[in-house]
Amino acid sequence: MWIRKHHRVLMTILIVGIIVSVPASLFFGSASVTFSEVVSVFKSLFSAGEEIDPSLKTIVWGLRVPRVLLAIACGCGLSVCGVTMQAVTRNVMAEPYTLGVASGASAMAALFITRLEGVINLPFGVQLFAFIGAVASMAIVYSFSSIKSYASNFKLILTGIVIGMVCTAIRELLIATTNNPNKVNAVVLWEIGAFGAARWNNIAFPIICAVGGTIFLFFISEKLNLISVGEETATSLGVSIKTLQRVVLVVTSLLTGAMVASSGIISFVGLIIPHIIRRMSGADNTKVLPLSALCGGFLMIWTDVISRVVIAPEELGVSILTSLVGGPLLLILMRKERA
């Protein structure tokens, strides 16, 4: 394919697309905002004498800009985690949630919402508990699936499924034994994924994690190519499978946990984006990783826009949209590969 030889062209297109999409996405939402109003908001940020409606500034700068930045971070972070998990497990159906990260985060978020919220005063309590749950589930999966400090791919995936089912059962138990319907609704809304809670005071952590994690994984992408070929080949070329697997699983789990904690569970992004990019650019992870990061960020911007306007003034869960589109698209790709 032409793109495989000119992947930098696709990378440039995606970068330009993101740059254009960020200001364009600010116009959409339950409140109508014109181009001149958006421009006036940004002028007021750099001009002390510029008078502007405070509510307009809150909508554009206080609400929409942070959620766009969070959408880019989550799309980028989940996509590169999907690429990495598929490479390290040598399983094209692996995704960021393979190690039970999403289920662990969901169980701990449900614990805080249904039992602790309002009882203890903890800033960003849901996000903190979700992040702890994500990391804890990864640690449990790895400890149960490791053999002599190395986790086989089969046991890793199987243990992830088991731990995920246990965490799901815990979450359902917490919901079933909760008498407050508002808290049940809060758990459900958190699980379907959204960027509406993004504010300037809570997006720094996921953005830093997305940028730092993507850069780190890109620098080890050549080693991921070797491990994708086979363990014997990687070992013969001096790559320590044990060390690489540990590092990759820790980084991807921390990154996935940060994304899930900040936005809830967003399905199919980390699974479908790597498949699309590989069909366009080939299997070289040095190309797939940055392209997946850019593609994930770009698509999340407009997925968030659609979620804002499709049932306005209410918002539709981002994960609903990604599942409705990603599921059929993955089936189509699988059918083409079989053909």
Of the candidates 2, 78, 84, 72, the one whose C-alpha atom is nearest the C-alpha of residue 288 is: 84
User: What pLDDT is recorded for position 238?
Assistant: 72
Question: In which residue are the tokens 């086989």 written?
Answer: 152
Q: How far apart are CA 137 and CA 146, in angstroms?
A: 14
Domain boundaries along the sequence of the chain? 2-338
Q: What does the pLDDT read at residue 337?
A: 65
- The distance from CA 339 to its chain's CA centroid, rounded to whole angstroms, is 31
Instruction: Please give the CATH topology (third level) of the domain spanning 2-338.
Output: ABC transporter involved in vitamin B12 uptake, BtuC (1.10.3470)
Which own/partner pairs from 139-144 qualify as long-range (CB within 8 Å, at least 24 positions apart)?
140/100, 141/99, 141/100, 142/99, 142/246, 142/249
Token reading at 223: 């080693």
Per-residue pLDDT at 66 = 96
pLDDT at 209: 94
Q: Quote the pTM value.
A: 0.92
Over residues 76-104, the mean pLDDT reads 90
pLDDT beyond 60 at 287: yes
Q: What is the pLDDT of residue 48?
A: 66
123 pLDDT band, cuts 50/70/90, is: confident
pLDDT (mean) for 243-256: 88
pLDDT tens readout for residues 9-32: 889 999 999 999 999 999 998 888
Q: Per-residue DSSP letters for 5-27?
A: H-HHHHHHHHHHHHHHHHHHHTT
What pLDDT sits at residue 11? 92
pLDDT of residue 241: 76
What is the Cα–Cα distance from 130 to 274, expressed in whole angstroms?
25
Pair 205, 260: CB distance under 8 Å: no
Q: Is the pLDDT score of 242 beyond 80?
A: no
Cα 118 to Cα 127: distance, rounded to the nearest angstrom: 15
Listed ranges 63-72, 124-133, 246-255; the one with the highest mean pLDDT: 63-72
- Average pLDDT across the chain, whole number: 88
Model pLDDT for residues 40-59, shown as the tens digit of each residue: 888 888 776 667 888 898 99
DSSP structure class, residue 130:
H
| 101 CB neighbour count, 10 Å cutoff | 33
| CA–CA gap between residue 36 and residue 28 (Å, rounded) | 14
Where are any strands of DSSP class E within the chain?
Answer: 146-147, 150-151
